[in-house]
Chains A and B, each alone.
Chain A
């Protein structure tokens, strides 16, 4: 009886209780939290719109679009002040640059990029996306509020399309075409409202000269996409507009594009809706200290249409045997060579590259001389030890573009003109005049000698957020594989990826020596026993 009780006790304390403890540990330990559900009402559905068709002032015959702006401002007074201090209007803003480079006024107006080099000098084409009417040259009046284009953002009919090459002027009776007719101002004015995706997308989808050329995560397909492409904007989902995230107060739109921005202010954040601990799971939530939401939640970009990854201007200018410009296409039917632009590499379903980024960026400025190659046109600042830095997914756009070999400065290039013979590259395919005129338009010195240099631009990704089933998994980063997403991001210890070789070798040596030791000892015991 006594021994039976003892055996039962032993069974309990040796097997049952330990097994229970381990079972409970595994059961409660191996559980992932359930993310919070966000309940959100789209801004577009919040209030009833004013019916602008009832206003007599909007029913007049508008000769010029500027007259319509005047009509808008007659009721919406002071809004012109808001807009005229915005970067959408000024294309520059006071920016405190990192690396103690001081405060400068920079923006699309006066920055270099590695697409068409600069907007400056190419007003007719580039300033089509300025929110004004006719910024053709320096004579444009930035103080005239009627030069503001209200419609490009507030047209809710999706019929207001500004013509190409017009520096932001819509078609007139003289230059109207089937693609870009004279806008029906009365119809549009009767149907204005908060900006729709179509409004923002008219410019922001087409930067760089075509759909999805520039950003890679902003393109036409997002006007009508499923949840896989963009979980926020999906038609059959929340169907959000740009301004649902890019919260706007008095025409001040939150959000930054670091091709032109420098400071960690006025940004749009996932956390605004989702909080910084949205997973209800400690291990995953803690990543937010050092990993941007975007890193896991935007595993690939350019999910529908390809984006340009590489643009080599040095190849531009070739002509066929008849002296005509050449166009070549890649397997996806995207142009891989254009005489007017050079060689292109497009890609679709692209895995981002990853950088430490703290929300500030440096920029190549006029007067900066090339030191390191590839030249960083915009530099994302950040490192592991910086408390504001997080790992961020980035589209890197690489290219080759013209620079002055004497001054070692990146050149402005005049690519656009309405007609041949004005020295623009797209018309005449001559580098000397195109660079000369480009540099002149920016008021810069040009030695006359040029070559091409490799450059890189960095585009932090924010859009095309995937549904949770498609986010990165732990082992996509926490792996020793060279294919790991963070395989190249050095300077910190990443569990699963990193280890100290010396410690591991020592450790395995200790284990092997222990094994040899006990085996030898055991053999000696067996041997001794036999004798």
Chain B
């Protein structure tokens, strides 16, 4: 067994805090949207607003961290091995073939993950943040420019929320596609991924 450091302390803190905030934002958000009642509308709004602000603060911290550590490079998309990775998910994984991408601290995401997370970071999060801030502070049609009210912000924000939920579903499943069913989860907790020694690799792939 070979232990590879993948996630620093900050990254793990970032990930799990963000997870908790996304859950809170989703539950309260769909309550505000009128889908069900859990907290009551007022509490749902207050919790949603508060977790949004924490989410933004965490985002600022994370952007700073990504830049100063150079870890942002993990999210730069690449064509290299992209189709191999796609092929792995669509066929290789069923045949017990090895992961095409080898992970390391400087290269912790495979090409499919890179483009997915980049999409999350530069599309979904900014759109949710921007429309969310509009939603919070720009309630009225002329304040200061005329956007005709909340419709556009609200509808985009809702759409982003649906995509976010879909992401979480797929993400939670993808956790199980490591070398073992719990390899990825363990890595996000301990920071280390346990890679099987080279000679055993093919045996344990499909778990």
A interface, CB within 8 angstroms of B: 6-7, 9-10, 13-15, 17-19, 21-22, 24-26, 28-32, 283, 286, 289-290, 384-385, 387, 473-475, 478-480, 492-493, 495-500, 503-504, 506-508, 510-511, 513-515, 517-518, 521-522, 524-525, 528-529
CB pair B173 A289 closer than 8 Å: no
Q: How would you classify the secondary structure of chain B's contact residues: helix, strand, loop or mixed?
A: helix
Of the residues A286, A475, A499, A503, contact of B139 by C-beta under 8 Å: A286
CB pair A514 B166 closer than 8 Å: yes
Q: Which of the 9-residue segments B64-72, B76-84, B157-165 touches chain A?
A: B157-165
B124 contacts chain A at the CB level, 8 A cutoff: no
Q: Report the separation of the CA atoms of residues A529 and B37 in the bound assembly, to the nearest whole angstrom.
A: 42
In the assembled complex, 20 residue pairs joining A and B whose CB atoms fall closer than 8 Å, in A order, are A6-B191, A7-B190, A14-B188, A18-B17, A19-B20, A22-B20, A22-B21, A30-B43, A385-B149, A480-B34, A498-B154, A499-B33, A503-B159, A503-B162, A504-B158, A511-B165, A514-B170, A521-B173, A522-B173, A524-B94
CB pair A507 B158 closer than 8 Å: yes
Least Cβ–Cβ distance between B204 and chain A, in angstroms: 11
Near A by CB (< 8 A), chain B positions 33-51 give 33-34, 37, 40-43, 45-47, 49-51
Chain B residue numbers with a CB within 8 Å of A7 are 190
User: Given that A13-B13, A22-B17, A493-B151 are contacting pairs, would A515 and B169 also be in contact in the complex, using a CB cutoff of 8 Å?
Assistant: yes
Q: Report the separation of the CA atoms of residues A10 and B8 in the bound assembly, to the nearest whole angstrom.
A: 10
Q: Report the separation of the CA atoms of residues A30 and B45 in the bound assembly, to the nearest whole angstrom.
A: 9
Q: Report the separation of the CA atoms of residues A497 and B139 in the bound assembly, to the nearest whole angstrom.
A: 15
Chain A residue numbers with a CB within 8 Å of B200 are none
Most buried by B among A283, A384, A514: A514
Q: Report the separation of the CA atoms of residues A28 and B46 in the bound assembly, to the nearest whole angstrom.
A: 9
Chain A residue numbers with a CB within 8 Å of B170 are 514, 517-518
Chain A residue numbers with a CB within 8 Å of B155 are 500, 503
Of the residues B16, B54, B163, contact of A15 by C-beta under 8 Å: B16
User: Given that A289-B140, A493-B150 are contacting pairs, would A29 and B9 also be in contact in the complex, using a CB cutoff of 8 Å?
Assistant: no
| Top 3 A-B pairs, shortest CB-CB distance | A29-B50, A507-B162, A518-B173
Least Cβ–Cβ distance between A507 and chain B, in angstroms: 3
User: Given that A13-B13, A15-B16, A495-B32 are contacting pairs, would A283 and B140 also be in contact in the complex, using a CB cutoff of 8 Å?
Assistant: no
Q: Report the separation of the CA atoms of residues A55 and B169 in the bound assembly, to the nearest whole angstrom.
A: 88
Least Cβ–Cβ distance between B76 and chain A, in angstroms: 25
CB pair A495 B150 closer than 8 Å: yes
Q: Identify the closest chain B residue to A484 (Cβ).
A: B34
Q: Report the separation of the CA atoms of residues A37 and B21 in the bound assembly, to the nearest whole angstrom.
A: 36
For the side of the interface on B, what is the size category? 35 or more
Chain A residue numbers with a CB within 8 Å of B34 are 478-480, 496-497, 499
Q: Identify the closest chain A residue to B33 (Cβ).
A: A499
Least Cβ–Cβ distance between B54 and chain A, in angstroms: 4
CB pair A9 B94 closer than 8 Å: no
Least Cβ–Cβ distance between B142 and chain A, in angstroms: 5
Q: How would you classify the secondary structure of chain A's contact residues: helix, strand, loop or mixed?
A: helix
Q: Report the separation of the CA atoms of residues A521 and B170 in the bound assembly, to the nearest whole angstrom.
A: 11
Q: Report the separation of the CA atoms of residues A14 and B45 in the bound assembly, to the nearest whole angstrom.
A: 27
B108 contacts chain A at the CB level, 8 A cutoff: no
Q: Identify the closest chain A residue to B10 (Cβ).
A: A13
CB pair A478 B41 closer than 8 Å: yes
Least Cβ–Cβ distance between B167 and chain A, in angstroms: 8
Q: Identify the closest chain A residue to B142 (Cβ).
A: A387
Q: Report the separation of the CA atoms of residues A29 and B165 in the bound assembly, to the nearest whole angstrom.
A: 23
User: Given that A289-B140, A518-B173 are contacting pairs, would A496 and B32 also be in contact in the complex, using a CB cutoff of 8 Å?
Assistant: yes
CB pair B41 A474 closer than 8 Å: yes
B180 contacts chain A at the CB level, 8 A cutoff: no
Most buried by B among A9, A13, A32: A13
User: Given that A283-B49, A492-B149, A499-B34 are contacting pairs, would A22 and B41 also be in contact in the complex, using a CB cutoff of 8 Å?
Assistant: no
User: Given that A473-B42, A500-B155, A511-B162 are contacting pairs, would A14 and B148 also be in contact in the complex, using a CB cutoff of 8 Å?
Assistant: no
CB pair A13 B9 closer than 8 Å: yes
CB pair B159 A506 closer than 8 Å: yes
Q: Report the separation of the CA atoms of residues A354 and B206 in the bound assembly, to the nearest whole angstrom.
A: 63
Q: Report the separation of the CA atoms of residues A310 and B3 in the bound assembly, to the nearest whole angstrom.
A: 82
Q: Report the separation of the CA atoms of residues A290 and B138 in the bound assembly, to the nearest whole angstrom.
A: 12
Near A by CB (< 8 A), chain B positions 124-182 give 135, 139-143, 148-151, 154-155, 158-159, 161-163, 165-166, 169-170, 173, 176
Q: Report the separation of the CA atoms of residues A387 and B141 in the bound assembly, to the nearest whole angstrom.
A: 8
Chain B residue numbers with a CB within 8 Å of A524 are 94
Of the residues B47, B142, B163, contact of A510 by C-beta under 8 Å: B163
CB pair A10 B51 closer than 8 Å: no
Chain B residue numbers with a CB within 8 Å of A497 are 34
